[in-house]
Every structure is written in structure tokens, then in C-alpha cells.
Chain A
Amino acid sequence: MRTWQRLAALAVGAALFTVTACGGGSGDDSSSAGGDGGGESAGGTFSVGIDEPDSLIPGRAQGAFDEMHALFSGLVKFGDQSEPQMLHAESVESDDNAVWTIKIKPGWTFHDGTTVTAQSYADAWNATAYGPNAWANNAQLSNVVGWDELNPAEGTPATDTLSGVEVVDENTLRVTLKAADSQFPYKLGQPGFYPLPAVAFEDFDAFNEAPIGNGPYMMDGSWEHDVQLSVTRYEDYQGPQPNADGITFRIYSDTTTAYTDAIGGAVDIVSVPQEKYKQLTTDFPDSYVAFNAIRLDWLGFPLWDPRFQDPRLRQAVSMAIDRDAVNEAIFGGLYTPATSYHGPSAPGGGTEGLCGEFCEFDPDRAKELLAEAGGWDGPMEIWFPGGVGYDQTFEALANQIRQNLGIEEVTTKSQPGFVQFIEALDTQQATGPFRGGWGSLYPSMQSLLWAVFSTNGDGRAGGGSYANPEVDALIAQADAAPSLDEATELYKAAEERIIEDFPIVPLFYAKYVYAHSGNVSNVIIGFDQIELNEVVVN
């Protein structure tokens, strides 16, 4: 009876064989570490830790900003400046903020050698705005004339082009907006306004696997999902030349792992996960960068709930929170406690201090305000999406409110995930203060003010569905202002008016926090995240 022996041997053998057979596939990573430089600049390659992009088509990708800026060049860029800088655009001009003429620099080419023309932009915008394509950046074009026709409430649209986008000649576009928008040049920096080459329209899915852009770097091979994507210098790039010869974007499913990998030197630049802020100065004493982006974290209120109607109650909550203590305890002091909605990096120097005493920590005054507002009965529930990094922060906030406002029962109502949390806000089921936040995709005050606080904003759920016709009018005035400076002043006025109503408790001006290895230097973080062109490989 030897069969069992053979069987067992076979089973183990088969298992081993499968393992080794599978192992054969992946093997060596083909990086030849950049030795083949063109010679004129620093050269070398470096790596950046990213999460798996949802898409590499600019009109469709909601994240992937760094990858996008390597592969594509839009009309404008920002870097660490809050004013738009011309990138591929020669000029962006308008007399009335409604009809805009965009001239592009001639002679730029896509990575397949075809010329980037005004038509490349128009085609891409049409595809992004076409409702049935269901691209996530669709709404970035919603103020262009013709967008409504491409996005009917029901049925398929009768046309597939934006009537408000006109190709005047090979290098000139004329864009007509539905409503005047002084901030239109800012919006051009968003991925929804990038160009696409003709080849993209043959098969978007195939294009997505190895996009052909017009940026400083081109794909080196195709996108290895969940592993990496490599890009290499595009020799015919007409814009500002990058220093490095290539970049490998390494994909991580867990940002903590990316961080550990950066400590080990296996990846050069990583975005630092929030839970590591406190040990950042120990792990990367001289090589981390925290950039004050236009991003606000706040505590929102269910403004539909009668118990939260009195602004004094909301101000009381605000004054009960020791922002400095939370900042130290949770964010390692990296964030800046908010005293308005816009930090110093916003155009015109921001609006710090607009909140006045109501953003100062003063438990006694807070209790007074609460009493004036009629006090509080029963439990107060704090809502946030659980398991995605907010738990600690909102536990801390709940503690602050409990101790400093004298409300006995402040509980956290953690939702199973983001899906359920958003649903609770959308359907107005949330019964207490909740997590709010907004990261502006372009560094204009318009982004946050319009999206969260105007009646038509696409982020108003996060502001408790606040609505005030006066605010709408002020924002519209700013949108129509004849110059960017005047617009900025008017947005400030709008913000001041909103703060009077005190719909939200501003908490922190959040930051983009990055760490890098000793392999790279000159790591600059700006509104477009990493300034990839500037990175120097040592």
C-alpha cells in the first residue's frame, strides 16, 4: 500500500510546482536606473508612491494628479503660486468674463508625434462633458454653453459637442460660458480641460492602459495595474524641461506601507498618511515638505434639524474646541488651526481671522453662548465615516465638546464607510455635527465658496445644505468681477457674509504632506501636488 505516499508526495509536489510556476511570471523589474540620460540635464530616475489610479484619462480620473501632470500638460499650471501660470496656453483673455479666447503655443506634440491643436482640446472637452460617457470630471465643464444639452435629465443627448466651444483656428479656441466667470483661467488647470490625441477616441479603454499625452513624460510600457507605471522623458516636449529622465510611480494599496517603504529607501517620494504625522520629524528630519493647500477641514451641522437652527449654538461648539490641542495630538502640529475658510496660501493672502472670537478656544464664553441659545437636551451625536482615517480626530472632537461645553452625552456615530456617510448627508438623515472637508482643485476662493455654500453647489451636502440668496448674489458678483483682484475682494465679502451665519465650524487649514528619500532633492510641493519637473536625482 504505497499509494498514499505517492499521493501525498504528489500533492506537495504539485503545490510547490504551482508556486514556482506562478513565480516565473513577474520576476525582475526592468528598471535600468536611468543611465541612458540625454546628457543636457541632471538625469536619473526616481520613484513616487501612489495609490491605484481610478483612470488615466484626464476627463475621467478623479485622483492621479501627479501621474496626470507627468503625462499631460494643461493650458495653465500653478506650482506654488496661487495665480495661474501659462503652460501650454499663450494667452487666456476675455472682455466680459463670458466669452473667452484661448491661444495655445504652436508646435507642441503628443507622444505619438501628432500636433496638439485647438481641436485636440475641443474634442477632449466634448468627450468629458458628454453625459453618457459618465466621466467623473464632467461637471468641470458645466458652465460652458451647451453642457445642458449634453447632460439631459433623461434619455440620450441629441448632440455630442459643446456648442459653446468653438475652434477658431489651429491654435485658437473661443469658449462661451453660461454665466460670467472671472475664475475661468483658474479652472483651466483642472484635468477636465486637458487635451486628448485623435487616437484616444478610437478606443478609450485601450487608451487608458497606455495613455498618449502631451506632457513632459511619456508612458514607458503600459500601466501595470496595482504594481506600477513608468514614464520616461519625452524628448520633443516644448514646455519647461524636467530634471529627471524618468519616474516610476509605484502603486500601494496602503499608504502606511508606502511610508515604511520610503524609510527603507525603496520609494523616493510619498504622501505621508495622517497617522504618521507625529513621527514624521523623527523618520524624515530634513526631508519632508508640508504645503498649505487650499483645503479646509470643518465640522458641519444638520441645518435642516430644528435643534441646530441657532447660530449661537454652532458658535458655542466652535469655541469649545481647542484646535491647538487637537492639532498637536492628532496632526503632530503640522496643520494650522483655522480662523476662517481660507488660509494664507489663497489668492490675496487668504482670510485669516474672519471668524473672530468664535474660532478661539474659550470654554466659558462657549457655555454662555450655549445657554443663550437655549441649551442642549439629550445626546449630541458626531457623524463621520469610520475606518478611513477620521476616527481619532472625531473622537477627540467629541471629547472636547463633552468636556468644554458641559454636554454630558456626546457620542460618535461612526458610519460603516464613506458610502453610508454620504448617504446620511444627502438624505438629511444625519442627526448631529458631522465631518466636512473640501480640497479645492484650483487655488481660487471660488472653489470652496461656490461648491459648498451656494444654492447650486455640487458639494453643499458637506456644508449641511446651507443656502442664502445674499451669499449667492455676492458669489455671482465676484464671478463677474472685471479683474482677479476685485474678484478676490468680493469673494472675501461673500465669505464674511457666510461666517455671519456660521453654518460650519472651521477646524484646520489642512496641508499636503510629503516625505522623500535622500536619493532626491529639490522636492517642491504646490497646488498641483509634486512639482515633478523640479525634482533632482542625487
Chain B
Amino acid sequence: MGKYVVSRLLQLVLVFFGVTLLIYLAVYALPGDPIRALGGDRQLPESVINAMRAQFNLDDPVLIQYLKYLGNLFTGDLGTDFNGRPVADLMGQRWPVTIRLALTAWVIQVVLGIGLGVLTALRKGTWLDHTVLFFTVGVISIPVFVLAYTAQIAFGVKLGVVPVSGIDDGWPLSYLVPSIILAIFGLASVARLVRASMLENLRADYVKTAMAKGLSRRRVVYRHVLRNSLIPAVTFLGIDLGYLLGGTVIIEGVFNLPGVGQLLFSSIASQQGPVVVGVATVLVVIFLLANLVVDLLYGVLDPRIRHE
């Protein structure tokens, strides 16, 4: 297994170079001159534009720009945005916000999703099962914008139990509502995946065998059925962590959380290559690591899956 992990990590290095180059090329390929647009309706003087173009290596061919970027990267310099703010600072400030938001949402998905899945599978056909089904389907079909604004008005403005926006109140208060909204979509999927999978496994022969051997129902359900039913949910949750980290742009905007979603959005709009590459690369690496963990978890959950 050690060998497997090492080879996967080596793949990560390759992916890192590929992804950074690809993103760099993509930003470069966007039409328009980002420096020219900095002045808005007022054109900046030629001298100022030239100085900025030189500072950001924008006059070099794109591959040279990329190599210069990589060169700086290895000396620990991630570059700056157009306002002269180091990208490292930007990310250092914004990643924790997004990570807090995404992990809170993720934990909600894990706990509530698996919990509701197990509960509805065991109480199949009861009012509880129907209620959960109704709400998960109902909530999924509401656009996230509507849900976010409604929750903001209801809990922030009308009831005043949580801050309307911002991170002044810290974790958990400031992150509670945004995390729940962010979690809701994955939550419904996890619950339904676990439920379906549990129902299938509950009918399996090995359950009857285990019961026949005299194991308690509780032990059978949690030790054997649940464990065997988790593989699809774990796959989903692994991929979903990446989605949660990268998909926070709307939620961050509505709740004014200064995370990377907003940063990525505005940097793409203003074509700030170093910022986009920095943020997106971290995103890709987290995604790949999450998937590595998922693959390793398969082996733990099901000994038949071995990584040689």
C-alpha cells in the first residue's frame, strides 16, 4: 500500500505541472488587455501601462511567462495581483474561510446524510421515510440563490439569530447558515445513496447468515450492512469535498464570506493570471488528495479491494 501511495503522489506532481500550464494558457487566451481595462473609462497613461506590463511579464511569449512564474514559484514567490498584493497573502487569508465553510458543510453531509440514510432504510415505508424523501427532493429542486437569500432574510434579517453576512462572529455562527445551504444538495444525495445501498444489503444472504449465527440486529446493521453500504457514499463524499471547495462562489457572495470562490471569480473577470493559477492549483491538489483518501478508504471498507 505504501508503494501505491507513493506512485499516486508522484502522479500528483505531474498533474500539478499540467494543470498550472493549462490554467495559465487559459487565462492568457482570454481576449482583451487586462492592464488596459484597469483604468475603466479613463485610459491610463502609456508609461503606466508599460510599467505594469513589464512588472507582470505580459510582453513575453506565454511559455516564457509560464516558466518565469514557475521559477518564482520554486523560490516561494507566488506573484502579486494587479494591486500589488502578494498572492500568498491573498490565499493565506481566503483559503481558511473557504475551508471552514466547505468542511462544515461536508461534516453536515457526512453526519446528517449517513444518519438520515440509515434511518430511512431501517424505517422504510414509514411516515419518517416519506417525510425525509419529500424534503430532500423538495429542497434539491429550489435554486441555490433562492434558498440562500430566503435563509438570509429569514434567519439574519427577520429573526436575527445569525449575522446577515460577514465573518465577524467567527465559526460557527457566521458559517452556520451558509454551510447548511451549501450542504443541502449533497446531503440529499448522500442520504438517498446510503438508503438505497442499505436496503439492498439488508436483503443479502450474509445478513441472514449473520442473524442465524445469533449476532444482534444492531451489530449486523452497523458492523456489516452499513459498512458494506458506505462505498457509494464515500465515493460521492470524496468528490463532493472538491466540489464544495470550488463551488462556494455563490454562497460566498450572498453571505459576504471572503473566501477563494469570490477571489477566483473576480480574478478570472479581471484576468489576473498569477491569482487564478495559484488558487486553482491548490483546488486541484486538494481534489486529488481527497480522491486518494477515498481510494484508500475503499480498501479499508472492503478488504477485497486491495491496492498493490
Binding site for B on A (CB under 8 A): 1, 3-4, 7, 11-12, 15-16, 18-20, 22-29, 54-55, 62, 131-136, 138-139, 142, 150-154, 205, 208, 225-227, 250-254, 257-258, 260-261, 263-264, 266, 387, 416-420, 422-423, 426, 437-439, 451, 458-459, 461-462
- CB neighbours (8 Å) of A1 from chain B are 303
- CA–CA, A334 and B157, complex, Å: 26
Chain A: CB-nearest residue to B89: A225
- List the 6 closest pairs (A to B, CB-CB), nearest first: A23-B171, A131-B47, A226-B258, A151-B47, A419-B32, A134-B51
Mind listing 13 A-B residue pairs with CB under 8 Å? A12-B111, A15-B110, A205-B84, A225-B85, A226-B94, A226-B258, A257-B165, A257-B256, A266-B165, A419-B33, A419-B34, A422-B32, A426-B33
Q: Which residues of B contact A257 (CB under 8 A)?
A: 164-165, 253-256
| Chain B residues within 8 Å of A260, by CB | 149, 152-153, 156-157, 164-165
With both chains docked as a complex, state the minimum distance between the C-beta of A264 and any C-beta of chain B, in angstroms. 4
Assess whether B270 is interfacial by the CB under 8 Å rule.
yes
CB–CB B37/A422 < 8 A: yes
Please, which residues of chain B bring their CB within 8 A of the CB of A451?
42
Residues of chain B from 38 to 55 with CB closer than 8 A to chain A in the complex: 38-48, 50-52, 55
B272 to chain A, nearest CB (A): 11
**Contact A423/B45 with A12-B107, A28-B170, A266-B165 known, Cβ cut-off 8 Å:** no
**Could you tell me which residues of chain B, from 51 to 103, have a CB within 8 Å of some CB in chain A?**
51-52, 55, 83-85, 89-90, 93-94, 96, 99-100, 103
Q: B300, A3: Cβ atoms under 8 Å? A: yes
Cβ of B100 and Cβ of A23 under 8 Å apart? Answer: yes
Partner of A227, one of B84, B258, B303: B258
Given A12-B111, A227-B258, the answer on whether A263 and B157 have CB atoms closer than 8 Å is yes
The reply on B286 being an interface residue by CB < 8 A is no
What would 13 more interface pairs be, CB under 8 Å, given A138-B47, A439-B41?
A12-B110, A24-B170, A138-B48, A139-B45, A225-B85, A226-B93, A227-B166, A251-B258, A261-B164, A419-B32, A419-B270, A426-B43, A459-B42
CA distance A35 to B169 in the complex (A): 21
For window 131-173 of B, CB contacts with A under 8 Å fall at: 149, 152-153, 156-157, 160, 163-172
**Distance of A38 from chain B, by nearest CB (Å):** 26
Q: Are B83 and A422 in contact (CB under 8 A)?
A: no
Given A257-B256, A422-B37, A19 and B43 contact (CB-CB distance below 8 Å): no
**Assembled-state Cα–Cα distance A139/B47 (Å):** 10
Instruction: State whether A15 touches B33 (Cβ < 8 A).
Output: no
CA distance A226 to B165 in the complex (A): 13
B37 — which chain A residues lie within 8 A by C-beta? 418-419, 422-423
Is B20 interfacial (CB-CB < 8 Å)? no
Which residue on chain A has the smallest CB distance to residue B300?
Answer: A4
Please give the distance in Å from B51's CB to the nearest CB on chain A.
Answer: 4
CB neighbours of A19 from chain B (8 A): 100, 103-104, 107, 171-172
In the assembled complex, the Cα of A12 lies from the Cα of B111 at a distance in Å of: 9
A459 neighbours in B (Cβ, 8 Å):
41-43
User: Which listed residue (A20, A27, A208, A418) contacts B40, Cβ 8 A?
Assistant: A418
Which of B31, B39, B55 lies in contact with A420, CB distance below 8 A? B31
Smallest Cβ distance from B43 to chain A, in angstroms?
5
Q: Chain B nearest CB: distance from A246 CB in Å?
A: 16
Closest to B156 in A: A264
B269 within 8 A of A: yes
Which of B55, B107, B303 is in CB contact (< 8 Å) with A16? B107
Contacts of A133 in B (CB 8 A): 51
Rounded to whole angstroms, the CA-CA distance of A29 and B163 in the bound complex is: 13
Q: Please, which residue of chain A has its CB at the minimum distance from the CB of B271?
A: A419
Q: Tell me, in angstroms, the Cα distance from A159 to B160 when the chains sit together.
A: 59
Chain A residue numbers with a CB within 8 Å of B42 are 139, 451, 458-459
Question: Contacts A4-B300, A18-B99: A136 and B271 contacting too (C-beta < 8 A)?
Answer: no
Residues of B contacting A153 in the complex (Cβ-Cβ under 8 angstroms): 46-47, 50
Q: Is the CB of B172 within 8 A of A23?
A: yes
- Residues of B near A258 (CB, < 8 A) are 256
Query: Which residues of chain B come closer than 8 Å to A417, judged between CB atoms?
Result: 32, 269-270
The CA of A259 and the CA of B108, in the complex, are separated in Å by 30
CA of A12 to CA of B301 in the docked complex: distance in angstroms? 15
Determine how close the nearest CB of chain A comes to the CB of B68; give it in whole angstroms: 18
Bound-state Cα–Cα, A152 to B96, Å: 44
Contact across chains for A136 and B48 when beta carbons are under 8 A apart: yes
Which residues from A are CB-within-8-Å of B166? 227, 250, 261, 266
Tell me whether B196 is interfacial, beta carbon within 8 Å: no
Q: Which of B90, B152, B258 has the most CB of A within 10 A?
A: B258
B144 to chain A, nearest CB (A): 15
Do the beta carbons of B45 and A131 come within 8 Å of each other?
A: yes
Q: How long is the Cα–Cα vector from A1 to B219 in the complex, in angstroms?
A: 13
Q: Report whether B44 and A139 are in contact in the complex, using a CB–CB cutoff of 8 Å.
A: yes
Could you say which residues of chain B place their CB within 8 Å of the CB of A27?
170
Complex CA–CA separation, A421 to B62 (angstroms): 23
Given the contacts A138-B45, A264-B157, A423-B37, A252 and B51 also touching, CB distance less than 8 Å:
no
Q: Is the pair B163, A266 in contact by a Cβ cutoff of 8 Å?
A: yes
For B253, the chain A residues whose CB sits under 8 A away are 253-254, 257
